[in-house]
C-alpha cells in the first residue's frame, strides 16, 4: 500500500514533479526530534499512511506542537486519537481541527477522497459500542476508505443482521465490534466472504471482565477469516481495514 513513493516516482516519470523536488523529499531527515517527541516524517513514504498522534497522556501543548511540525513538514492530514474535549479546545485554537467528542478523535486537514477497492463495513453489537466504532470508521475514512455503518445489530435480535446481508456480502472488509460475549464477529464471519476484523469492547456486566470475555470469545471464533485486535482498539481495526481495502494499490 505504498502509494506515496509510487505517486512520487510516477510524478517524476510524467514530468509533473521535478527530479530535484523528488530527491529532496526522499533525502530529508526521516524523523524530527522536538524534545518531547520524535516525529516520523517518512512513515507515509514507507508504510503508506502518516504517523498518527495518540492524544492520551500528552498535554494539549505537546499535541499542538506535534501538529505544527507535521504541517510544516508537508503533512496534509493528521489524525489524533484519544484526545479529550479540554485538549481539543486548546489544540483547535492553533489549527483547523474537526473534533468528534463521542470517540475522542480529532482530524486536521479533512477526509481523504475514497480510493479503496471497495467499502469497509463497520458493525456494532449495541449502541454502547458506537464510540469504538466511530474511532474505527473515522480512521478508515480519513485514510481513504468509504465506510458503511451498521450499528446496533447484535445477536440478541439476529434478524437485524440478516436485514443487511447484501451489505455484508458486498463489503471488501468488515469490522465487527461487540462487548458482552462478543458473538457478533462469529455470526458475521459465517455470513461474509471478506476478512472480518473483530474488536472486543469493554461494554458488559461484571463477568465480562472489562472486555476480556469478548476478547476470548473472538479469539476462539469457529468462523474462518476472523482476526482480532485489542479491547476497545477501534483505531487499530480501522487502520487495518483501510490497509486491506487498498491491497491492490
Please tell me the number of Cα atoms within 13 Å of 241 on its side-chain side: 41
**What is the set of domains in the chain, with CATH numbers?**
3-108 (no CATH), 119-244 (3.40.50.1970)
Q: Under a CB-based contact definition with an 8 Å cutoff, are residues 77 and 107 in contact?
A: yes
Query: Is residue 1 pLDDT above 50, yes or no?
Result: no
Alpha helix ranges (H) inside the chain: 3-14, 19-27, 43-47, 60-72, 85-91, 130-142, 158-162, 165-170, 184-189, 212-219, 234-244
Confidence of residue 66 (pLDDT cuts 50, 70, 90): very high
Confidence of residue 248 (pLDDT cuts 50, 70, 90): confident
- pTM to 2 decimals? 0.85
Q: What pLDDT sits at residue 195?
A: 96
Mean pLDDT of 121-135: 97
Query: Is residue 43 pLDDT above 70, yes or no?
Result: no
Mean pLDDT of 13-25: 81
Amino acid at each position: 500500500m505504498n502509494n506515496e513513493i509510487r505517486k512520487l516516482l510516477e510524478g517524476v516519470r510524467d514530468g509533473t514533479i521535478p527530479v530535484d523536488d523528488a530527491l529532496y523529499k526522499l533525502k530529508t531527515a526521516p524523523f524530527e526530534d522536538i524534545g518531547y517527541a520524535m516525529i516520523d516524517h517518512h512513515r507515509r513514504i514507507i508504510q503508506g499512511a502518516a504517523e498518527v498522534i495518540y492524544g492520551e497522556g500528552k498535554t494539549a501543548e505537546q499535541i499542538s506542537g506535534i501538529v505544527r511540525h507535521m504541517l510544516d513538514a508537508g503533512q496534509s492530514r493528521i489524525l489524533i486519537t484519544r484526545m479529550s474535549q479540554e485538549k481539543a479546545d486548546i489544540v483547535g485554537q492553533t489549527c483547523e481541527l474537526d473534533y468528534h467528542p463521542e470517540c475522542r478523535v480529532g482530524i486536521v486537514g479533512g477526509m481523504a477522497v475514497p480510493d479503496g477497492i471497495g467499502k469497509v463495513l463497520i458493525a456494532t453489537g449495541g449502541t454502547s459500542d458506537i464510540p469504538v466504532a466511530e474511532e474505527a470508521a473515522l480512521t478508515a475514512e480519513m485514510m481513504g476508505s468509504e465506510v458503511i455503518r451498521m450499528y446496533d445489530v447484535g445477536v440478541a435480535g439476529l434478524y437485524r443482521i440478516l436485514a443487511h446481508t447484501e451489505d455484508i456480502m458486498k463489503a471488501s472488509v468488515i469490522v465487527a465490534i461487540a462487548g458482552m460475549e462478543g458473538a457478533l464477529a462469529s455470526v458475521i464471519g459465517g455470513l461474509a466472504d471478506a476478512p472480518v476484523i473483530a474488536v472486543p469492547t469493554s461494554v458488559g456486566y461484571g463477568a465480562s471482565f472489562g472486555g476480556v470475555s469478548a476478547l476470548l470469545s473472538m479469539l476462539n471464533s469457529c468462523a474462518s477469516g476472523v482476526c482480532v485486535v485489542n479491547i476497545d482498539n477501534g483505531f487499530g481495526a480501522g487502520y487495518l481495514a483501510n490497509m486491506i481495502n487498498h491491497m491492490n494499490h
